[in-house]
Amino acid sequence: MNQYDLVVVGSGAGGLVGALVGSRNKMKVLVLEKTEKIGGSSSMSGGGMWIPTNPYINDSYDNAIEYLNNVVPKHRTYSPKKIENFIKFGPKMLEFLTSEGIKIRPMIGYPDYYPEKPGGKKEGRAVEPDIFNGKKLGKYLKILRRYPGMPPIAMFSREAADFILAKRSLKGFSTALKVIFRTIFYFVTFRYPLTMGGSLVGQILHRCLQNGVEIWINSKVIDFEFSNNRVISVVVEKDGKEIKVPVKSGVVLASGGFERSQDLREKFLPKPTDYRWTVGASGNEGDIIKILMKYEADTDLLDKAWGGPVAITPDQETVFLVYERSLPFCIIVDSQGRRFMNESAPYTDCWERQYKHNIEVPCIPAWLIMDKKHRSSYPFGKIPPGITPNFPAEKGFLVKADSLEKLAETIKIKPESLVETVKRFNDMAKKGKDTDFHRGESAYDRYYGDPRVKPNPNLGPIDKPPFYATAIYPGDLGTLGGLVTDENGRIMKKDGTKFENLYATGNVSCSPFGGTYPGPGSTLGPACTFAYISVLNIIKSSEEQK
């Protein structure tokens, strides 16, 4: 078996950034992908990267530090040096990508998730990839992981907030037309448009392939061989055979979290929990975390996830709800028919709030209640506005009734409580002030609001039948706890020592943000940045040993 300078485990954006850095520094690089698809959760995502002080915005190191100091909890393995390195190297990572021909654009106007905190920015700190012609990938286009059932649409993440208002505003309508004609133009010019996560992974993958990076799919890592605390080979199960892959310089783990493992969810995450509530990639079962635990690797934040409200369609598709719950004419209630959260809040806050409230009042599932105005005006998941199929009520998805009382009876919550809750909410909506949960007060709340609804774009009376209800579960984009790393991404042991040449980034490692989601792209931003840092450190160590 040939020896590789660098082995990367996982083919998401972070892993591929690491592979690209290595290949540009004349390393022989191998990427190992457990499943039959390339891209992991990254390629199904919005593709945004939260990068403070990036070259597209007016920002400063001091502002970024101030903001993160205000929103990141001081957990056991909190590392100021890691935060500092993220801010320092994030822009350098972007500069590297653009020098390699990766096209990036700013998401100006998509705010930080806590923009009113000191150091927060209402115009945001995120970037996203430009449109990429997927046909450049050749045979690899067929094995690029995409969001299930999602057709190729040439739309940017920054356009989504306007796109969903196509029936409500001229700006929304013009954005929808722009997206439609842009998509048609790509196809009539014999190109295949990839945007968002598909573009980010596709562009980096394309450059990796051009630079000679090898990629093995259906290749599961089952162990590592060590000598004097250094990885000397990666043990892989490929095509039913066990293969030892010799490693010369280092290994970067970018294999994702454990959200698809029911056993690990039951062991670590809040209860109840279900792997069917995640939208993470199918291969994210925590294999690497379990292996490294055997070698005394330190772990933290295993009880956390990039959580948020999800709905389950009748055909068992998981829908991660971002804008649906934030728009007017809807609320989320518990089993008693009472509100218990700001429905427009950042999704991780909603996740934590649902679990916390469930201790006192059952709210798993909770119920998203909406009226005809909501269904007529806005899409819900993949369902266009104004079109609502007749789903069986027992499926708990867009259950329909002509009155709030009948709706409550159908979903088995207290009718009188729901009616009372809706009445109170409607009174507040008309005044534009949610005195219970402050919905619509933050710039982040208002990002997914409807500006035509006055005086608060996130509030709107629920008063026009028919009424609808959808069961809401505390789902996730993926887990965020895992292997503890130092400021350079090197994996720590429980005794405080470090593996010499073993690094981790992304959701297989502990998030530097401790469970907080500072802004759009708070998974991919650090994942790509620490992949970049990790490989630079591997290269530096290799040169020092010569």
Query: What pLDDT sits at residue 271?
Result: 98
**Mean per-residue pLDDT of the chain:** 97
What are the C-alpha distances in Å from 412 to residues 219, 358, 402?
A: 47, 17, 16
Query: What pLDDT sits at residue 435?
Result: 98
CATH architecture of residue range(s) 310-474 = Alpha-Beta Complex (3.90)
Tens of pLDDT, residues 77-116: 999 999 999 999 999 999 999 999 999 999 999 999 999 9
Confidence of residue 213 (pLDDT cuts 50, 70, 90): very high
- How far is it, in rounded angstroms, from Cα 515 to Cα 524? 14
Confidence of residue 10 (pLDDT cuts 50, 70, 90): very high
Pull the structure tokens for residue 473.
């579960």
Extents of the domains making up the chain:
153-191, 310-474
Tens of pLDDT, residues 35-72: 999 999 999 999 999 999 999 999 999 999 999 999 99
Query: What pLDDT sits at residue 48?
Result: 97
Cβ atoms of 277 and 318 within 8 Å: the answer is: yes
Tens of pLDDT, residues 57-66: 999 999 999 9
Please give the average per-residue pLDDT across 426-451, as a whole number.
98
- How far is it, in rounded angstroms, from Cα 530 to Cα 509? 10
Cis amide leading into 474 (omega within 30): no
Please give the average per-residue pLDDT across 267-295, as a whole number.
98
SS3 68: helix
Please give the average per-residue pLDDT across 342-368, as a whole number.
98
Cβ atoms of 529 and 19 within 8 Å: the answer is: no
Query: What pLDDT sits at residue 544?
Result: 82
Tens of pLDDT, residues 502-516: 999 999 999 999 999
Cβ atoms of 65 and 217 within 8 Å: the answer is: no
Query: What pLDDT sits at residue 267?
Result: 98
Confidence of residue 1 (pLDDT cuts 50, 70, 90): confident
What residues pair up with 201 in beta bridges, in sequence order?
Answer: none
Pull the structure tokens for residue 83.
């935060």
Please give the average per-residue pLDDT across 439-455, as a whole number.
97
Pull the structure tokens for residue 486.
């130092």
SS3 361: coil
The answer to whether residue 338 scores a pLDDT higher than 90 is yes
The answer to whether residue 377 scores a pLDDT higher than 90 is yes
Query: What pLDDT sits at residue 543?
Result: 85
Q: What does 410-470 look like in DSSP terms, one character per residue?
A: HHTS-HHHHHHHHHHHHHHHHHT--TTT-TT-SHHHHHTS-TTSSS-TT-----SSSEEEE
Query: What pLDDT sits at residue 147?
Result: 82
Query: What pLDDT sits at residue 22?
Result: 98
Tens of pLDDT, residues 161-205: 999 999 999 999 999 999 999 999 999 999 999 999 999 999 999
Q: Of 20-24, 153-157, 352-356, which range is least confident?
A: 153-157
Confidence of residue 478 (pLDDT cuts 50, 70, 90): very high
The answer to whether residue 438 scores a pLDDT higher than 90 is yes
pTM for the predicted model, two decimal places: 0.96
SS3 299: strand
Confidence of residue 31 (pLDDT cuts 50, 70, 90): very high
Confidence of residue 151 (pLDDT cuts 50, 70, 90): confident
Please give the average per-residue pLDDT across 407-425, as a whole number.
98
Cβ atoms of 199 and 127 within 8 Å: the answer is: no
For residue 241, give the H/E element and its range: strand 241-253
Query: What pLDDT sits at residue 149?
Result: 74
